[in-house]
Amino acid sequence: MNRKSSKQHYQVTLIALDKMLTTSLTLPMEMLNAARAIMQTEHGRAPRISLTVAGTNDTNNKPVIASGGIKLLPDCHYSQVEQADLIIVPAMWRNPQPILQLYSELIIWLKQMHLQGSMLGAAGTGSYLLAGTGLLDGKPSTTHWYYFDRFQKLFPTTDVKRDHLITHADGIFCTGSVNSIADLTINLIEQWFGEATAARVRQQFSPEIRRSTFDSVFETEFSSSHRDELVIASQQLLKASLNQPIDLSQIAKEQQVSQRTLNRRFQQALGMTPLEYLTRLRLEQACELLRETNLGVAEVAEQSGFSGASYLAKIFRKHFQITPGEYRTSVRGKLFTL
């Protein structure tokens, strides 16, 4: 069990890099802000959180362009950050090895900051930058599963834990995926804000908790591993905007392939089309909202990307043979009855 810290101000620096997976930074930012808001509301006080997005461009007004084309304007250059309790390095899209040379000065800075007392955390392939500091020599580490062999070959003195989604050694955290950064953030929230606040944040953000039997519909199809980076990138784009109107032809264009090729690659990797995958993502979102909130079915439909309550009900019956209301009644009985 983690002991809650008595510190009243935490400074977190998030490193923004071109071609990064944006959610590896925005997810911990949202979770940390939520933790402070929840604790402040429920207890009347909470530690302060200062979140600084630091870039690598010499020109401060030059935006970072993430993997999905999202533009993000950093608050400052990383060299301007003099103190941080935690520094988070994002996951990168495609082969991460070139970042070792591209960001060699950043690697030196990361090592210096750690020696001054900063904790370091990496999402997925961001662990390449942490390993590049030499701080992981002889220590446990992990990275995205697709790069295990390359990572081990490049950093032979680090102990790659292939069966671990999170590793920790001397204030250095590595995670195996973007999703795992959420688990790491929950752990930090427990230390900084306490168990009760961490539990509340987990309820809002963690996709693993309180899975009902209905959710197992998605397990087999979504858990099958594949190595198609084009599909992985498309999955990230769909997940990031599932409650918005999505033009699949635009997704294909961003991946520089035809829509026909995109469909074929999804079928080969996941056994379903991009549209079927998107529908299942939206159903997962709808299930979570029906379980965890008191939103009306129309609001659930809107926030899940469905065109209306009647269409959500139609899709629900097709997949689960029940209505959204019946689903809510069923899982509420299981989850909240003591």
pLDDT digits (tens, 9 = 90+) for 109-152: 999 999 999 999 999 999 999 999 999 999 999 999 889 999 99
Architecture of domain 9-200: 3-Layer(aba) Sandwich (3.40)
Q: What is the pLDDT of residues 243-262, one digit of tens each?
A: 888 899 999 998 899 999 99
* Ranges of each domain in the chain: 9-200, 210-336
Whether 9-200 shares its CATH topology with 210-336 is answered no
C-alpha–C-alpha distance, residues 78 and 80, integer Å: 5
Question: Cβ contacts of residue 124 below 8 Å, gap of 6+?
Answer: 21, 24, 91, 92, 143, 144, 175, 176, 177, 178, 180, 181
Task: Report the alpha-carbon angle 169-149-162, nearest 5.
Answer: 45
Over 50: is that where the pLDDT of 335 sits?
no
Average pLDDT over residues 197-222: 55
Q: Which helix or strand (DSSP H or E) is residue 72 part of? A: strand 71-72
Average pLDDT over residues 41-48: 92
4 pLDDT band, cuts 50/70/90, is: low
Question: Cβ contacts of residue 323 below 8 Å, gap of 6+?
Answer: 313, 316, 317
pTM > 0.75: yes or no: no
Render 208-276 in DSSP notation, one character per residue.
TTT--GGGGGTHHHHH-----HHHHHHHHHHHHTTTS---HHHHHHHTTS-HHHHHHHHHHHHSS-HHH
Cα–Cα nearest to 185, from 165, 201, 167, 164: 201
322 pLDDT band, cuts 50/70/90, is: confident
DSSP percent split of the chain into helix, strand, coil, nearest 5: 55, 15, 35
C-alpha–C-alpha distance, residues 127 and 123, integer Å: 7
Average pLDDT over residues 34-62: 90
Give the pLDDT of residue 236: 86
Over 60: is that where the pLDDT of 270 sits?
yes
Side-chain-side CA neighbours of residue 226 (13 Å):
19
Give the pLDDT of residue 225: 53
Q: Considering only residues 9 and 211, tell me which one the structure prediction assigns the higher pLDDT.
A: 9
In DSSP terms, 48 is beta-bridged to: 9
Based on DSSP, count helices (H) and strands (E) in the chain, helices before strands.
15, 11
332 pLDDT band, cuts 50/70/90, is: low
Contact between 255 and 234 under an 8 Å Cβ cutoff? The reply is yes
Report whether CATH 2.60.40.10 matches the domain 210-336.
no
Q: Considering only residues 60 and 237, tell me which one the structure prediction assigns the higher pLDDT.
A: 237
Give the pLDDT of residue 207: 47
Give the pLDDT of residue 120: 98
